[in-house]
A and B are shown apart, each in its own frame.
Chain A
């Protein structure tokens, strides 16, 4: 058996074993799941080295075939998938180790690890996929395990609501993906990527299919207007949020666009759509993050915003930069989430205004969180800077000036809300008594923070001019990276520092009056209510659907079934004339019918003279 399939099968096996024995083994389940992931990670590193040495593997087998119609399954190892394999397995591994501390004492911990395993396996299946059916299947697998994990504490109504919302909203986007799949099969006659990419589809057709695929990505990667599920998904255990927000789930949408890039290029309009949606998402989510007061919600909106950057990058043609940002984000975002988890674990609250001055009590958490924050805000030399900067440079170079300006504005907002969070939580004086007994989390939780912190600091360097943009060269198959644009770099760096400066003045000094923005202000209300998107969906979609469903049921009972009962009633009235044979037993009616038919049969045989 090929080692590539082992990378995938180990977590699947872990899932199957834990479904059966997870309850019995309790916390020991973690060993199975973590052990599987360690091996998968090691093999992924091997796979990456293999590809870096110029290797390429593709294995396929037929999954279903009907005549000439064929659906295949397979494992495709190239630069993009090798990179993702490593990212997915290492982040999943660290999250699983962290969970061992975080989920300590939970009575369903075996099931938790089972789901984590399969969640990761689904993502691996997606990453490997050389064809669209497999991607779609893995895609839905990622969706269902995120559903089970977000709703892990299903006793809580809010948790099962959030799970339902995540499933339904992403499924809504998947309708587009599904229609796109069928359409692609009809026009291309195949769903194998390399065959599709080798074709010359008409521009309009390619654009339509690409945009339909993008609908799925909009749902999965929480792009405007289907981003509404992601903030609610915070109801899941924090390690799950860390995983969902980095290497799995939300990464899937960006990965789909990156993987299908040749298809998008065949219909360039689709890339414009991707760029515009990405920009709107990046900017909008950043504005909402300004007013959020729940530590995880701030991070959730920051994820949406960063995903917007990735789409923006892909859309403006900066393919490698978009993928690069996907990679760096996959390190600094779980770092921030696990850090937040560590904080929540310590103070038992998620409200940032319950916190304060935690820096002294939780040294490792606060330092690593600061690293993650700097990476998110885009300060050099931290990971996020290099990748975000490439995206902005790409927007500038391709002449998307409006997008470029909004990209820069979002840098300002990002730096501000990130450091608003950091100043309030880790600096100043404690607010209230939540933080009285706060202390550093155990090593099993802080160790993953340190490792992720290391990557958040360094992962960007491999794509920086210092390393001759080695990452981009690797991912983009030797396409030359653009020359570094020092003007853009300088601008984004200064703007980020300005954002941090504002946050400092507002939350660390009294230079800015605290009532700069009134709580009755229209814009403030708009942001606090997240642009009323949830309300919009509720009244525009859910209420009408239920109304139509109720109307259909009433129609069914009154009209359709009413007609049936009406026919029965009329027959009964006729039957009254024949009361003497009306015995009321259904068997008798049946008998009459059979007798009648036999008579009819004999009569017709006679008439037709068949014998």
Chain B
């Protein structure tokens, strides 16, 4: 690496957030365009990371490492592999979508965009960090902007939701921190370097203790049943940009950490507890689908559907087979695209109807055919329609999970009927039907809204039609993980 491209892409939004403060408070349009330009520039730089990535090679790429606090063994250490690269790219893209989605925000525009940029730094850093301290800082950095985004620009019940989100996930991160400290203090290496720590084995009660700390911390984030109840509140109350990033990126931090940290540092414990996590995963799958079916609120339905979909990803992770793990990682990206799109469209619909009550919607396809059509598309993608990306991840997970978990896999397949049921029902009741007079005069999607959705739609279709190149990115990282697990 001749120049630190990865570091630049991580911190460019931070620079942006600082520079934003130079824009006078009342110049909302300038703030919007500034934030948009920064995220687009960041994506363009990110694309050169994607194209420069040596596909098929194991190990970290674009690595940068220098000592930060030498005495404590803390270093600034970042890099990307086949596991983090897809999520990194997803974050860059969804940040732009989030900026476009909040265009209609009228109050404290500059602050809103500064927070979105800070959030982007946190998300990018989390996926790139290879030092525990750096990782923890970025992980926590995500929390604070999101807390304010929900609490300040959220819906009618925003204070409760923001506080619940913060305390619940912060409690999770504290447990994670305990785990990190325990690793640091007992490894005898005197370093927070993740890659080095991965090489040292942990056994016995200590390993179990650390596992439990990490498990609780990440399970909240994913979220896995029964740690999920912060999610519906936060998703529903968050403004559209917040929901898109919550569902699209923040949940993936949990599943990412499961693979990066638990599976690679505590492979023995992970294998030991995998059957137990699988039970929670299958409960999440079925339970999330049932609760989604019972929803009367469209946004809440999408929120609960995430619990179910993340359950599939967890099932793929704990199956510990190459096919399932590839599927799980691909599905993390797919879920980000698809559920991000669903939240985006639901947000745009809400801006017009000012209701999310499914029974009060209906007939939208007549009044706003483009938005209606995009919702139907996203719903079909979400229920795993072949030809769209969700299907690919799903079948890989199911093919790969059958050998270790036969009954769960069959249950997971059967639950797909429930998934279809709630999504098709949403199409039916919210989008189809005769046009209603109270929806008269709505304007269909404008250029900005269209542009924000199109990249997601196109990617969902491309991955769905031809997943091979995407799997080539992921597969080497999966091999690394599974080698470690087999070696334990």
Contacts and interface: CB of A to CB of B under 8 A. Distances in A.
A164 B475 contact: no
A604 B424 CA distance: 55
Nearest to B386: A137
Given A564-B229, A593-B170, A164 B410 contact: no
Given A64-B392, A65-B468, A66-B322, A154 B170 contact: no
A539 interface: no
Interface in A149-183: 151, 154-157, 160-161, 163-164, 167-168, 171-172, 175, 178-179, 181-183
Interface in A541-557: 545-546, 548-550, 552-553, 556
A574 to B, nearest CB: 14
Contact of A63 (B229, B366, B468): B468
B170 A590 contact: yes
Q: How large is the interface on A (under 10, 10 to 19, 20 to 34, 35 or more residues)?
A: 35 or more
Given A66-B396, A610-B185, A175 B413 contact: yes
A183 B295 CA distance: 34
A136 B290 contact: no
B287 interface: yes
Given A171-B420, A611-B71, A62 B468 contact: yes
Given A137-B387, A140-B385, A69 B323 contact: yes
Contacts of A141: 385-387
Interface stretch (B197-205, B263-271, B274-282, B426-434): B426-434
B454 to A, nearest CB: 12
B414 interface: yes
Given A137-B387, A175-B416, A560-B229, A66 B428 contact: no
Contact of B291 (A164, A553, A597, A608): A553
Interface in A101-150: 133, 136-141, 144
Contacts of A144: 380, 385
A195 B238 CA distance: 52
Given A66-B326, A157-B433, A186-B402, A137 B391 contact: yes
A556 B167 contact: no
Contacts of A155: 363, 366, 432-435
Given A64-B467, A171-B420, A597-B177, A553 B295 contact: yes
Interface string B209-246: 00000000000000001101110000000000000000
B442 interface: no
B399 A560 contact: no
B417 interface: yes
Given A164-B425, A164-B428, A168-B420, A157 B434 contact: yes
A178 B414 CA distance: 9
Interface string B281-298: 000000100110111000
B290 A548 contact: yes
B229 A561 contact: yes
Contact of A65 (B295, B424, B471): B471
Given A167-B420, A556-B291, A561-B229, A175 B414 contact: yes
Nearest to A19: B373
B82 to A, nearest CB: 12
A513 interface: no
A63 B467 contact: yes
Contacts of A577: none
Given A66-B322, A552-B294, A160 B386 contact: no
Interface size class of B (residues with CB under 8 A): 35 or more
Given A178-B416, A597-B177, A549 B293 contact: yes
B287 A552 contact: yes
A198 interface: no
Interface in B149-170: 163-164, 166-168, 170
Given A62-B468, A593-B170, A185 B416 contact: no
A560 B163 contact: no
Contacts of A478: none
Contacts of B424: 164, 167-168
Nearest to A542: B421
Contact of A601 (B181, B363, B466): B181
A568 B229 contact: no
A604 B195 CA distance: 23
A604 B181 contact: yes
B174 interface: yes
A23 to B, nearest CB: 8
Interface in B392-448: 392, 395-396, 398-399, 402-403, 409-410, 413-414, 416-418, 420-421, 424-425, 427-428, 432-435
B455 interface: no
A185 B467 contact: no
A536 B417 CA distance: 18
A578 interface: no
A545 B322 contact: no
Nearest to A589: B167
Contacts of B322: 66-67, 69
A586 B152 CA distance: 14
A185 B399 contact: yes
Interface in A45-76: 62-67, 69
Contacts of B365: 154
B432 A151 contact: yes
A341 B435 CA distance: 27
A550 B294 contact: yes
A443 B392 CA distance: 46
B417 A154 contact: no
A494 to B, nearest CB: 46
B406 to A, nearest CB: 9
A137 B427 CA distance: 21
A549 B300 CA distance: 14
Contacts of A42: none
Contact of A556 (B174, B229, B396, B420): B229
Nearest to A71: B395
Contact of A549 (B167, B190, B294, B385): B294
B147 interface: yes
B417 to A, nearest CB: 6
A610 B191 CA distance: 11
Contacts of A611: 71
B380 to A, nearest CB: 6
B461 to A, nearest CB: 10
Interface in B452-483: 466-468, 471, 475, 478
Contacts of A136: 386
A137 B416 CA distance: 15
Contacts of A156: 434
Interface in B351-400: 363, 365-366, 380, 385-387, 391-392, 395-396, 398-399
The 10 closest A-B pairs by CB, nearest first: A137-B386, A553-B294, A154-B432, A552-B290, A549-B294, A160-B432, A549-B293, A561-B229, A549-B290, A140-B386
Given A155-B433, A157-B434, 18 more contacts: A63-B468, A65-B471, A136-B386, A138-B386, A141-B385, A155-B435, A157-B433, A167-B424, A171-B420, A175-B413, A179-B413, A186-B402, A545-B421, A549-B294, A556-B287, A560-B225, A564-B229, A604-B181
27 contacts: A63-B467, A63-B468, A64-B471, A65-B471, A69-B323, A137-B387, A139-B386, A140-B385, A144-B385, A154-B432, A155-B433, A156-B434, A161-B428, A164-B424, A171-B420, A178-B416, A179-B413, A179-B414, A182-B402, A182-B413, A183-B402, A546-B294, A549-B294, A552-B291, A568-B167, A600-B181, A605-B185
Interface of A: 62-67, 69, 133, 136-141, 144, 151, 154-157, 160-161, 163-164, 167-168, 171-172, 175, 178-179, 181-183, 185-186, 545-546, 548-550, 552-553, 556, 560-561, 563-564, 568, 586, 589-590, 593, 597, 600-601, 604-605, 608, 610-611
Interface of B: 71, 147, 163-164, 166-168, 170, 174, 177, 181, 185, 190, 225-226, 228-230, 287, 290-291, 293-295, 322-323, 326, 363, 365-366, 380, 385-387, 391-392, 395-396, 398-399, 402-403, 409-410, 413-414, 416-418, 420-421, 424-425, 427-428, 432-435, 466-468, 471, 475, 478
